[in-house]
Amino acid sequence: MTSSSSNYSDSIQNYRFDVFISFRGVDIRNSFVDHLYAHFIRKGLFVFKDDKRLEKGESISEQLLQAIKDSRISIIVFSENYASSSWCLEEMAAIFDCKQQLKQTVFPVFYDVDPSHLRYQCGVYQNDFDLHRRKKFKHDPDKIRRWETAMTDLANSAGWDVRNRYVVLRLFYSLSFAEFIAYHMFECILNLI
């Protein structure tokens, strides 16, 4: 085998999942995310969606971190309460690491949140970060900085702003916005293969 073909085969990553979906369950588990997930499944994609409800204080599992690494694409659905969960913020930071180190494709979805609030951690996101900073992680400022860096970068990525989803739904009539996003992400996945 030539060295160039060896380098090519070394650079190909075997993916266990086509898509990893990161979301805050209390906000959108039984609506937007379920529609997105169902549409991906109908298209024949392998999707990881963590359905466990975690107890306060639990840390992100190695299995979940591996699922993020084993995914071709990650979708982060930023919602109003996303940053209140240290688990979600850890997922987001792990996804950011995969974007940086493994060149994973990441699509942010801004579900009823202003993307600028994520970029600058202001509005409701400021309250959540202040709470993490004062109480939960006051002895670990590096963790907060890591989350802020990841969130700012990801919020600056091209994604979907779903603040005015009712207008968008009228535009697409019977096609739900989740299906619309899933369709476009499916097209992106096909282009990556």
Is the pLDDT confidence value at 61 over 70? yes
- Candidate list 80, 90, 91, 179, residue with the active-site label: 91
| Residues 124-162: tens digit of each pLDDT | 899 999 999 998 888 899 999 999 999 999 999 888 787
Going by pLDDT thresholds of 50, 70 and 90, the confidence category of residue 46 is very high
What pLDDT, on the 0 to 100 scale, is given for residue 165? 54
The pLDDT assigned to 39 comes to 84
Burial 120-158 (b: 16+ CB within 10 A, else e): ebeebbeebbeebeeeebeeeeebbebbbebbeebbeee
Q: Which of 8-17, 25-34, 178-187 has the lowest mean pLDDT?
A: 8-17
pLDDT of 12 > 60? The answer is no
Active-site residue flag, 58 = no
**Residues 68, 71, 73, 77, CA torsion sign:** negative
Please say if the pLDDT value at position 176 is more than 80.
Answer: no
Is 102 strand, coil or helix? Answer: helix
Confidence (pLDDT) at 34: 84
Global pTM reads 0.79
